[in-house]
Amino acid sequence: MDQIGKYEVLDKIGSGGFAVVYKGYDPFIKRPVAIKVCYSRDAETRERFNREAQIAGRLVHRNITAIYDFGLHDQNPYLVEEYLPGEDLAHMIRRREPETLLEKLEYLLQIADGLGYAHSQNVIHRDIKPSNIRILNNGRVKIMDFGTAKLANVESNLTQTGMTLGTVAYLSPERLLGKPSGTNSDIFSYGVLAYELLSFRRPFAGHNIPNLIDQVLNATPVPLQESWPQCPESLAVMVHRCLTKDPAERYASCQELSHALEQVRKEHCAFTPEPPAEPPVADRTQMRLTGLLEHARELQSRGKLQRAEVLLDEVLEIDPGNTEARELLAASPAAELEGTATIATPTGGATHGPNKAMWEEPADRRRRKIGEAVTVVEQFVEAGELVRATEALKFATEFLGPFVEASALKRRIVEALRLDVTTARESGMKEARHMVAAMADLRGRNLLPIEVARNLVERIGELDPDDIAGRHILAALHQDANQRRPEVDDADRTRKKQDAIDSIERLLAGGDPATAEKALRFAVRLFGEFDQIPQLEQRISQALRESQG
């Protein structure tokens, strides 16, 4: 796909069991984004996806992934969050990346800071593990994936679906036992992560989930210094305290945890690196221009010419004399579609066709873009694609600002929507009348079961909420059924009595008169006296005498 909502889709960067993640671009704020789209139809999975947006969206912290937006695309919910260039901590651990103690402590401190902030907002993450920790290219740590998170004061009825070895290994004992869990459950998971980051091995291992659960519940991890001899004693004590089975014996908060880590860093690291200085304003502007130009070249290479033109326009707004932006505009095949009118150039000469985009005045460019936007919206309206027309008009007014034609276009869309609603209602009422007539015909021929009628009435209500004829037919069916109930009950009693007589006959034919006698007495108690009793009693007595000799 090329677009999700207002966001340009640049590339697919990952996928899982229920979602796909794309690299995107926000054309208004001019920044890259990550777009996670949920394709699952499972209600609980979608609820978890929505929960991530609701909970993570309220968290604003340098070590937590920022949520920008949430919406629906083709009936699939999508989440827009900050784009995080870098890699997951799980990948670094698998490569056994030889970070220094200082670097590892810095990662652990940042994770504790982000987790502590979430806890201060009454949010429990519930899925802390290396694959949910992102290490950016500049060393910044980001906690990701709040899909299984819950508010500390609200019970969640979401289950942990799709449990794998990679998930169970980080769950606290109380979570595995189904007991109430709080922020100290996250601290246990943090301890598992810290043990693995420091030693490149997990404290609990198993070849299957039952074995792994048994280890988490009952086994004591190998001392960290045996797995990593260089580990400072104070750091090992800190990690093993996080891994205690009793939640009350763990750290009471991430703030206590951070304090312990700071002490380790102070005692065992010679210095603490200072944050990099903020680049001068001129350098930041040049970095911005370079990024815009690179993105524009990428879009042109993929044939996304209009989107590239938008970015090049932005470059020229920042730096009107930018030669590279002008050359890219002039070289774009899109320029050839703009006609061959003669345009005066700054040098006093004239140019034609492809060079028009290079020398077009900003006001002329805006008028041209407004014309293009009006054409696109009108085409959508004429084709009956009113949702797309609305989106295109909104995009145009947000990007170009207010313009005179926008009001007329909005009126056209509203009028078309009104006509669509009227047409749909008339069509629905007509279909509802047909369904009512069909129901009446089936009822007249005794061919309409009550359950079928109930479903039809619900459908009729959707088509025409004011129609009551279908409900009258359903009520009449219930009345018919009540009137026929005695007849149905009598027929059912007769059938069951005949089944009992047939069973007695089979027992006699099979040479079991004693059981036949018991069955007859049971039938008399159940159905009372009936015509066949004397004959059956006589046959049973004869069969009993014959069996006795």
Where does the pLDDT of residue 340 fall: very low under 50, low under 70, confident under 90, or very high at 90 and above?
A: very low
- In terms of Cβ atoms closer than 10 Å to its own Cβ (0-12, 13-18, 19+), residue 212 is buried
Where does the pLDDT of residue 347 fall: very low under 50, low under 70, confident under 90, or very high at 90 and above?
A: very low
Q: Which fold has domain 3-82?
A: Phosphorylase Kinase; domain 1 (3.30.200)
- Output the average pLDDT for the chain: 80
Q: Please provide the DSSP assignment of 253-279 as one string.
A: SHHHHHHHHHHHHHHH-S--PPPPPPP
| pLDDT score, position 283 | 65
d(CA 123, CA 185): 12
Q: Per-residue pLDDT for 109 more than 70? A: yes
Where does the pLDDT of residue 473 fall: very low under 50, low under 70, confident under 90, or very high at 90 and above?
A: confident
4: region left, alpha or beta (phi > 0 left; psi from -120 to 50 alpha): beta
Mean pLDDT of 479-498: 72
Where does the pLDDT of residue 341 fall: very low under 50, low under 70, confident under 90, or very high at 90 and above?
A: very low
Torsion over CA: 518, 520, 521, 522 (sign): positive
Q: Which residues are catalytic?
A: 127
pLDDT tens by residue, 75-85: 889 999 999 88
Mean pLDDT of 279-297: 72
Between the alpha carbon of residue 532 and those of residues 329, 497, 523, 524, 536, the distances in Å are 102, 11, 11, 11, 6
- Written as one letter, the residue type at 272 is T
d(CA 446, CA 433): 20
Specify the pTM: 0.52
| pLDDT score, position 436 | 87
CA angle at 237 for the pair 231 and 239, rounded to the nearest 5°: 80
Q: Per-residue pLDDT for 344 more than 80? A: no
Where does the pLDDT of residue 338 fall: very low under 50, low under 70, confident under 90, or very high at 90 and above?
A: very low
| pLDDT score, position 154 | 47
More confident residue, 423 or 489: 423
Pick 86-268's CATH classification: 3.50.50.60, 1.10.1050.10, 3.40.50.300, 1.10.510.10.
1.10.510.10
Alpha carbon dihedral 256, 259, 261, 265, in 10-degree steps, equals -170
More confident residue, 366 or 384: 384
